[in-house]
A and B are shown apart, each in its own frame.
Chain A
Amino acid sequence: MTTLHTFHGGVHPPQHKQESSESAIAQAPLPSRLVLPLQQHIGAQAKPLVRAGDQVLKGQMLARAEGMVSAAIHAPTSGTVVAVDLHAVPHPSGLPELCITLAPDGEERWVEHAPLDYRALPRDQLLTRLRDAGIVGLGGATFPTHVKLNIGETAGIHTLVLNGAECEPWITTDDRLMRERAAEIVQGIEVMRHLLNPAATLVGIEDNKPQAIAAMQQACANTGIEVIAVPTLYPTGGEKQLIKILTGKEVPSGGRPLNIGIVCSNVATAYSVHRLVNHGEPMISRLVTVTGNVKTPRNYEVLIGTPIAELEKLAGVLPGSDGYILGGPMMGLYVSNSELPVVKSSNCIIVKSRALFPPLPPALPCIRCTRCAAVCPAELQPQDLYWFARARDFGKAQKFHLFDCIECGACSYVCPSNIPLVQYYRFAKSEILAIERDKEAANLARERHEFHQLRLERDKQEKAEKLAQKEKAALAAKAAAPAPAQAATTEAKANDSAQQLPAQQLPAQQLIEAAIARAKEQAATARAKNTEALTPQQQADIAEIEARRAKVREMSHPDADSPKE
């Protein structure tokens, strides 16, 4: 039996889990429209592979992972791509993002897909399959799973932690998933173990979910996976907190679990991995708790891209509703637009009402009571960070470990002055990041400018050198000329002066031609210089750029046969 450890602080907000945890998972019906943002994960936006009007099959890749950290997006059902354009997405900024809108045809025709024999697949191919299946962490951060699991067999991962804590109030997706699909989760965990080869695999579940714990314990029997009940305390489900509880180890400040030989993943992510390896299905649906001010709160299996409006209809919205909380009440996002789609990170939709979530009283000044510090799981001094953020003293804020804040909201929850502390930290973080971006941009601009100056200087020098060489040659010619005869001296003198002052003696036409020739020559050598000794990567880049240019030209002149230079 593992001995449990504790983390500092934490709070006990009212749980409100009973509302939705006692009904079985239901399948949400096919919506009339699906909106799929291309950015549903941490990392680079996926690159669309379809255009408006394309017919697509269920499970077909609509956008591919772009770059190192990215994840693919798939069609949750068969139908027609209606648009690839900007659409409102659930994001704090409220800015629209590039989305693929899909009109389902209702036929649910699958793309060709088959289970994987993951044990027989080479490692990198399995990881590629994970990437191409669009699997991302469902614990909230939506970090691409293939990146997380791609750490090499020699990285020395000793522990794999599965997060089934689900500490946020109201949310019960992991609870239901573990109760109903424990065996499938375990099959997903086996894939992760296959890739990481950890000595220990621990599943942490808060003890307010006894049925989930029992189901997981049964499914994990004789697998070597240990299911551990951890005390209910928000934010136990924080990655760093759960690792501390289960292993006693602290992820270093500013570091990742990897730094201490641990990988942490959500149980729902493991379930998605199972869907891929045992059914060949990419991530096209997820569980969503629909709760709050509704008639029948429960968990639904929802296609990614389903608008909130369709789900609230299923649950039956009660009067007095005023918007939605996406996620839990501690870390969730308030939105009012019911056209926003369910994305890979959407674990919960709480239909909000003033009765359930009364508006907080206006904020008073901080009285330094340190209730916030007492509950901070990152062991920060929230009252100081608040002052620094307010004073825009960002250097100090960073020195006081602002970036170790996990934004769990425990500080705001206990603040007797009702100060929206987390908002101050988010503000300070984004300001600092913006300043750093600006700094980088300024550095880049300065480097460019300096390089430009350098080049001008170099060109000037080269010109001067050329001039000097010419003069030298002229002098040499002059030295050679007087030798033949004394009689030629006068003529030579004339020649001499002709070379020294050509502009005065050569006809204008000739001068211009010479200048053109020189310019041409210069241009030729300049180009040669820049394109000499290219690396294969650069050549590939150039080829790609040329190809893109060609495509653009094609798009702007669709009827032109071939672009002209």
Chain B
Amino acid sequence: MFSPFISQATSVRAIMFKVMLALLPAIAVYVWYYGPAILVSITLASITALITEAAMLKLRGRPIAPFLRDNSALLTAWLLALSIPPLAPWWLVVVGTMFAISVAKHLYGGLGSNPFNPAMIGYAVLIISFPLQMTHWLTPHGLGQLELSVMQQLQYIFSGQLPGGATLDAVTMATPLDTLKTQLHLGRMPEEVLGMPIYGHLGGIGSEMVALAYLLGGAYLLANRIITWHLPAAFLASLFVTAGIFHLADPAHYVSPVFHWFSGAAMLAAFFILTDPVTSPTTLRGKFIFAAGAGFLTYIIRVFGGFPDGVAFATLLMNICVPLIDTYTQPRVFGQKDEK
């Protein structure tokens, strides 16, 4: 038995739990705008994550109970489920979660040892392997030609059948961010595109509210000191500045930075993805560099790349740089002269 003999009552389990708690507002908004499909995919992802986690722990010869209780696999599952279209065949989220937990997490050494954000790896695998399924997002409440009931959503998820031979296009659409890119490519003006009925005040109808809910959850995490302000602030600032420069230089082709804040997974990334401590730098300066880089890359990928959003690849690219960033941003220690 060794000192210190006392400990503050925080635990990995409690931290992960609070992060999941902070996701609840966004999930509620999701259900409001898109129906309960998201709950199904979160449940599927959670069950898959726990089973995969237990199986991997067993294979690795690690104690199963303490690690299953740490909530980290569940959080990965939730983040992945929130990143992919809710109305998708059941196996999509299952495959993504299995890959995230088994390969991205456990093959690298499990909790604390994975260099890449597991949820983003899961997303990347899915978007590369199943691009079609990954781009069909439910049309928000009140905008579609056809609205599915709870049972109809469930039926599609598990059997792939839509009622009355309807096509998937009747109930889904591309994301507002994706739509904007496509329309701008077709030569339309930003104001014209953003005048479409799917757009609201900040971003897309529904998705802008989800983004606001993430912001609310992020505020809760900040208030509870689960995360610090450095990563979200640097990411959002960098995204804003990058988008702002393009917007100011050529407003005919580039929309306002506010749209970029409230579209796609920007808010999710700022408060829930980049803030994964395992895959982000440990030094203060490193955190700024990491998050600013991710903000910049997110913009570049989402505007000039071929994917509907840039958050996942921006995060993964910056994840690669973390050891390097940490090495070169070591702070001075107590009593060390400032000059080197």
Chain A residues engaging chain B, CB cutoff 8 angstroms: 7-8, 11, 13-14, 169, 240, 244, 250-255, 323, 325, 327, 329-334, 352, 357, 360-362, 364-371, 373, 377-381, 383-384, 400-401, 404, 409, 412-418, 420, 422-423
| A368-B277 contact in complex given A330-B4, A384-B282, C-beta closer than 8 Å | yes
Chain A residue at smallest Cβ distance from B112: A365
Pick the residue among A251, A254, A423 that contacts B2 (CB under 8 A).
A423
Those of B1-31 within 8 Å (CB) of chain A: 1-8, 10-12, 14-15
| A332-B3 contact in complex given A255-B335, A368-B282, A381-B330, C-beta closer than 8 Å | yes
| A413-B10 contact in complex given A250-B334, A367-B112, C-beta closer than 8 Å | no
Chain A residue at smallest Cβ distance from B62: A365
Those of B272-298 within 8 Å (CB) of chain A: 277-278, 280, 282-283
| A369-B3 contact in complex given A240-B335, A252-B337, A416-B14, C-beta closer than 8 Å | no
Determine if B110 is an interface residue (Cβ-Cβ < 8 Å).
Answer: yes
Chain B residue at smallest Cβ distance from A383: B282
Best-surrounded residue of B2, B8, B278, B326 (most CB of chain A within 10 A) = B8
| A253-B277 contact in complex given A414-B10, A418-B7, C-beta closer than 8 Å | no
With a cutoff of 8 Å between Cβ atoms, the chain B residues found around residue A377 in the complex are: 334
With a cutoff of 8 Å between Cβ atoms, the chain A residues found around residue B111 in the complex are: 364-365, 367
With a cutoff of 8 Å between Cβ atoms, the chain B residues found around residue A412 in the complex are: 4, 7
Contact A416 B334 (CB under 8 A): no
With a cutoff of 8 Å between Cβ atoms, the chain B residues found around residue A250 in the complex are: 334-335
* Alpha-carbon distance A417/B277, docked complex (angstroms): 13
Best-surrounded residue of B66, B67, B110, B335 (most CB of chain A within 10 A) = B335
* Alpha-carbon distance A361/B112, docked complex (angstroms): 18
With a cutoff of 8 Å between Cβ atoms, the chain B residues found around residue A14 in the complex are: 6
Chain A residue at smallest Cβ distance from B1: A334
Determine if B183 is an interface residue (Cβ-Cβ < 8 Å).
Answer: no
Pick the residue among B11, B112, B280, B283 that contacts A381 (CB under 8 A).
B283
List 23 interface pairs A-B (beta carbons < 8 Å), by A numbering.
Answer: A253-B333, A332-B3, A333-B3, A334-B2, A334-B5, A352-B5, A357-B5, A361-B11, A365-B113, A367-B111, A371-B10, A378-B334, A379-B331, A379-B333, A380-B333, A381-B331, A383-B282, A404-B335, A413-B7, A413-B8, A418-B11, A420-B2, A422-B2
Contact B335 A253 (CB under 8 A): yes
With a cutoff of 8 Å between Cβ atoms, the chain A residues found around residue B112 in the complex are: 364-368, 417
With a cutoff of 8 Å between Cβ atoms, the chain A residues found around residue B67 in the complex are: 364
With a cutoff of 8 Å between Cβ atoms, the chain A residues found around residue B66 in the complex are: 362, 364
Contact B334 A8 (CB under 8 A): yes
Chain A residue at smallest Cβ distance from B11: A416
Contact B334 A253 (CB under 8 A): yes
* Alpha-carbon distance A334/B6, docked complex (angstroms): 12
Given known contacts A357-B5, A383-B282, A413-B4, what 20 new A-B pairs fall within 8 Å (CB)? A8-B334, A13-B8, A255-B335, A330-B3, A357-B6, A361-B11, A362-B66, A367-B277, A368-B112, A379-B333, A379-B334, A380-B334, A401-B333, A404-B334, A404-B335, A412-B4, A415-B7, A416-B10, A416-B12, A417-B112
Contact B278 A368 (CB under 8 A): yes
How far does the Cβ of B20 sit from chain A's closest Cβ, in whole Å? 15
With a cutoff of 8 Å between Cβ atoms, the chain B residues found around residue A409 in the complex are: 3-4
With a cutoff of 8 Å between Cβ atoms, the chain A residues found around residue B2 in the complex are: 334, 420, 422-423
Pick the residue among B4, B110, B332 that contacts A379 (CB under 8 A).
B332
Contact A11 B3 (CB under 8 A): no
How far does the Cβ of A456 sit from chain B's closest Cβ, in whole Å? 49
* Alpha-carbon distance A380/B7, docked complex (angstroms): 20
| A370-B7 contact in complex given A364-B111, A365-B111, A416-B15, C-beta closer than 8 Å | no
How far does the Cβ of A5 sit from chain B's closest Cβ, in whole Å? 12
Chain B residue at smallest Cβ distance from A92: B2
Best-surrounded residue of B1, B6, B67, B110 (most CB of chain A within 10 A) = B6
With a cutoff of 8 Å between Cβ atoms, the chain A residues found around residue B11 in the complex are: 361, 416-418
Chain B residue at smallest Cβ distance from A359: B1
With a cutoff of 8 Å between Cβ atoms, the chain A residues found around residue B277 in the complex are: 367-370
Pick the residue among B8, B326, B333, B337 that contacts A378 (CB under 8 A).
B333
Interface majority SS on B: helix, strand, loop or mixed? Answer: loop
With a cutoff of 8 Å between Cβ atoms, the chain A residues found around residue B12 in the complex are: 364, 367, 416-417
* Alpha-carbon distance A152/B100, docked complex (angstroms): 66
With a cutoff of 8 Å between Cβ atoms, the chain A residues found around residue B145 in the complex are: none
Chain A residue at smallest Cβ distance from B63: A362
Determine if B70 is an interface residue (Cβ-Cβ < 8 Å).
Answer: yes
With a cutoff of 8 Å between Cβ atoms, the chain B residues found around residue A333 in the complex are: 3
With a cutoff of 8 Å between Cβ atoms, the chain B residues found around residue A362 in the complex are: 66
Contact A370 B282 (CB under 8 A): yes
Chain B residue at smallest Cβ distance from A234: B4
With a cutoff of 8 Å between Cβ atoms, the chain B residues found around residue A352 in the complex are: 5
Those of B282-316 within 8 Å (CB) of chain A: 282-283
How far does the Cβ of A352 sit from chain B's closest Cβ, in whole Å? 8
* Alpha-carbon distance A513/B95, docked complex (angstroms): 99
Determine if B336 is an interface residue (Cβ-Cβ < 8 Å).
Answer: yes
Chain B residue at smallest Cβ distance from A410: B4
* Alpha-carbon distance A452/B330, docked complex (angstroms): 48
Chain A residue at smallest Cβ distance from B228: A374
Contact B278 A367 (CB under 8 A): yes
Contact A325 B5 (CB under 8 A): yes
How far does the Cβ of A94 sit from chain B's closest Cβ, in whole Å? 12
With a cutoff of 8 Å between Cβ atoms, the chain B residues found around residue A253 in the complex are: 333-336
How far does the Cβ of A141 sit from chain B's closest Cβ, in whole Å? 15
How far does the Cβ of A521 sit from chain B's closest Cβ, in whole Å? 63
With a cutoff of 8 Å between Cβ atoms, the chain B residues found around residue A7 in the complex are: 334
| A373-B282 contact in complex given A364-B66, A415-B7, C-beta closer than 8 Å | yes
How far does the Cβ of A390 sit from chain B's closest Cβ, in whole Å? 12
Contact B5 A329 (CB under 8 A): yes
Contact B110 A365 (CB under 8 A): yes
With a cutoff of 8 Å between Cβ atoms, the chain B residues found around residue A169 in the complex are: 6
* Alpha-carbon distance A370/B227, docked complex (angstroms): 10
How far does the Cβ of B55 sit from chain A's closest Cβ, in whole Å? 18
* Alpha-carbon distance A138/B304, docked complex (angstroms): 67
How far does the Cβ of A245 sit from chain B's closest Cβ, in whole Å? 12
Contact B333 A404 (CB under 8 A): yes
With a cutoff of 8 Å between Cβ atoms, the chain A residues found around residue B331 in the complex are: 379, 381
With a cutoff of 8 Å between Cβ atoms, the chain B residues found around residue A383 in the complex are: 282
Pick the residue among B6, B110, B282 that contacts A13 (CB under 8 A).
B6
How far does the Cβ of B73 sit from chain A's closest Cβ, in whole Å? 13
Contact B15 A369 (CB under 8 A): yes
